[in-house]
Amino acid sequence: MPALLFSVSPDSYDLAVREIREEFGRDVAVERVSGDLGRITQNAPAVGELARACDEGRIIFVRHLTVEIASFPPYDAPPAHELAELVLAELPRHPAALAVQTWTDGAGSGGTYYHLLDEALGARGIEVTRSGQDIVVSCFVSDRAVLIGLNRLEDSLADWPGGRMRLARSDERVSRSEFKLEEAIRTFHLDLKPGGKGLDLGASPGGWTRILRQYDQEVWSVDPGALDPRLSRDRRIHHVATTAGEFFRRNDVRFDVVVNDMRMDQVLSARVMLDAVPHLRRGALAVVTLKGGGRNPLDAARRGMDVLSKEYDVLHARQLHHNRREITVVARAR
């Protein structure tokens, strides 16, 4: 069976290996390729099985998946037309388009290989883009090896090179935390119905509130701290300058979505989400980041999700690119 390649945050590699072996057996053989890339070399599950385990939150620390089809030293790279043939030989028929995603274990993008594949595949009449196609060619480049992988987008977990989502900065951005919610919405294809009512717990300075407004939610932003002044002109943002507990004691609005990026222990944060349930419509969407975890972030995250599971169905849980040392959990209120 071909090797599977998986990407992670460099600090979370050992946690990802632990999760994979707990899910698929201790005899799964894994080797580290680089800081953020691992290779399952023996007793690997089918890539679809591994993708489902990641998508359902049973494996949290894997960000991107592909099936290895070739590897070689950088100094012995085949010419562009041979790279293209390596890819096309794995497909039952030539597709009209492919996504080619390249990245490195450093600051570079691996762009040389993108252009080589773009040119060679284009010469065969195949459109090449960086995302948005059903089949993804992954190319990882380091000073020791070049690895080529191929996978269906639906089993890749992310439509970005190695799961490294890059979001454009804008003058309207009020905090870096906006990227975390935006990445979750895009990665998990969250459906925020226009005209809904959103609750942002621990909102200050208002980054997640701003993202919810971009998806046409009327937002109640709960935090004793101030919101960015640029949000004050929006009449569909209601800043309630108090704690979550005090807000719940007085609130009579029912919400379609609740988000929580508060800086607190995983279990405490999950309990705040339980307190929110009486204020949610049935089936309301919830997005929460579970922070830190000390020496054992995997078990800490699981404790937080166990608490959430008392009142929510957990749909997804993953350490996304913009999370750093956090976990994003998506759930639905029962």
Identify the bridge partners of residue 319 per DSSP, sorted by sequence position. none
pLDDT over threshold 90, residue 108: no
Residue 87 has a pLDDT of 96
- pLDDT > 90: what percent of the chain? 89
Domain locations in the chain as residue ranges: 4-163, 178-333
Nearest to 300 by CA among 308, 290, 309, 310: 290
Which residues are CB-neighbours of 35 under 8 A, at least 6 positions away?
A: 10, 13, 105
pLDDT over threshold 70, residue 296: yes
Secondary structure (H, E, C), 148-166: EEEEEHHHCCCCCHHHCCC
* In the block, residue with structure tokens 């959990």: 329
Contact 25, 6 (CB under 8 A): no
Identify the bridge partners of residue 91 per DSSP, sorted by sequence position. none
Q: What is the pLDDT of residues 182-235, one digit of tens each?
A: 999 999 999 999 999 999 999 999 999 999 999 999 999 999 999 999 998 999
Dihedral-angle region of residue 165 (phi above 0 means left; psi in -120 to 50 means alpha; beta otherwise): beta
Q: Which residues are the active-site residues? A: 291
The fold for domain 4-163 equals: VC0802-like (3.30.2130)
Secondary structure (H, E, C), 306-334: HHHCCCEEEEEEECCHHHCCCEEEEEEEC
User: Distance of CA 138 to CAs 14, 78, 141, 162, 230, Å?
Assistant: 23, 16, 10, 8, 40
Distance of alpha carbon 20 from alpha carbon 4, whole angstroms = 12
pTM value is 0.94
Contact 81, 120 (CB under 8 A): yes
Residue 110 has a pLDDT of 76
- pLDDT > 70: what percent of the chain? 99
The fold for domain 178-333 equals: Rossmann fold (3.40.50)
Q: What is the pLDDT of residues 246-255, one digit of tens each?
A: 999 999 999 9
How far, in whole angstroms, is CA 217 from its chain's centroid? 22
User: Distance of CA 35 to CAs 142, 162, 280, Å?
Assistant: 10, 12, 41
pLDDT interval class at 269 (50, 70, 90)? very high
Segment 39-60 mean pLDDT? 97
